[in-house]
Amino acid sequence: LGKMNHSRFALNASVFLGSNATCNSSACLELASEKKYKFGLGVLMIFGTFLGIWLNGMVIILTIRHKFLRIPINYAVVNLSVADMLSIVIGLCPAMDANLQGYSFQSTSFCIFQGFCLALFGLVALWSVAVCAVERYLVVCRPFKAIQFGKKHAILALLFAWLWSTVWTIPPLFGWSSYDVEGIASNCAPAWHRKDWKSRSYHTCLFICCFLAPLTIILLSYGKLIGTLRKVSQPPCNATQRAESQVTKTAIIMILAFLLSWMPYAAFALTKVVKPEVIMDPQVQSIPMYMAKTGTIYNPVVPCFPQSFPFHRQHGGIATYPRGMADILAVHLLPLQMFWQLMGGSSASMIPPLAAKISGGHKLPTSDKSKKF
């Protein structure tokens, strides 16, 4: 997997082996502090890696086991989990091992390979979130228009996500910027910390085309979705206001999750691009770097957030919202409700006609009849 460099964080024999010898020099104390920081971070990564593999694996396996989940609107969700799973295996696992053992990566062939893969899978995951937002906008806001969302559109959207991400991760392999170690040198990524004009121009374009662009798409899509729900819910009543409120909360959670994952990393990289003379401590640099990787944990959780389901039991379990509102909400939240119930959540409604049509006529299983994974 490439040669590892043990010198950067290696301590003198007394500290590394834990003997009774003293370590009084400032350099030795600094190295000891860095080693403790890396080890503590590695311990946290054990739990993060386990949760990421379990949650993303659950989404993938549930989709494989249950045919009715393999509907076009779910393709982006599964694609997101696949990208996150690959990021964990290629990125988080080696980084966790490096932190626990206290060594760092060199700029070797494996470092370049890992940097390329992490950048590719990270951008694919980022664009998958944007695709999810667009899909829900089309299904909710334009269900009866001439252009209907189907399998072909879902596949084309995911092909775009992979191709566009590949377009922006290949240039560092051919001289427009490069892949190098970052932060505390436990993993590799595009070299946003370099001061040359190639790296600065590349990361400026990357920020615009692969952060601002999907963020704008997400904001516009969910903004239009919420606006449509407000129009449909006129005249207002308690049921429609409650439904609108919960869908708004879901949209806000999706947007905040996106920003929490990517905004700190993008801000740090942009700061270094705009002001290359700024000196950043490696431990400080590692904070936004690992915050970006926390998305692999909560990306599969956000769609299953229980507040996302604005249906309630009344008159034998049938939702009492106006038919138009029930149809729109059901189509928007059908995949989320399916996953929630398969994982043990309670069934709160029957699928309205439009939702049943979108799902291919499959009935939504209740918690006592569905298979739990």
Residue 366 belongs to a domain: no
pLDDT tens track for 77-126:
899 999 999 999 998 888 888 888 877 766 678 889 999 999 999 999 99
Cis peptide bond upstream of 235, omega within 30: yes
Please tell me which residue, 355 or 342, carries the higher pLDDT value: 342
The domain that holds 286 is classified in CATH as 1.20.1070.10
Residue 363 belongs to a domain: no
Residue 316 belongs to a domain: yes
Residue 166 belongs to a domain: yes
As given in the structure block, the two tokens for residue 113 are 């390979």
Q: Is 182 helix (H, G, I), strand (E, B) or coil?
A: strand
Residue 82 belongs to a domain: yes
pLDDT tens track for 117-167:
999 999 999 999 899 888 878 776 765 554 566 788 889 999 999 999 999
Q: What are phi and psi of 48, to 5 degrees?
A: -65, -40
Please tell me which residue, 270 or 167, carries the higher pLDDT value: 167
* pLDDT score recorded for residue 321: 34
Residue 311 belongs to a domain: yes
In the chain, % of residues over pLDDT 90: 18
**Does residue 245 have a pLDDT over 50?**
yes
pLDDT tens track for 294-324:
888 888 777 554 333 333 333 333 333 333 3
Q: What are phi and psi of 38, to 5 degrees?
A: -65, -40
Residue 368 belongs to a domain: no
Domain total for the chain?
1
**Does residue 205 have a pLDDT over 90?**
yes
Q: Angle CA(271)–CA(275)–CA(277) in degrees, nearest 5?
A: 120
Residue 111: C-alpha distances to residues 92, 171, 186, 274, 340 (Å): 13, 16, 10, 26, 38
pTM score = 0.73
Q: 113: domain range?
A: 4-358
Residue 373 belongs to a domain: no
Nearest residue to 240 (alpha-carbon basis) of 317, 359, 139, 327: 327
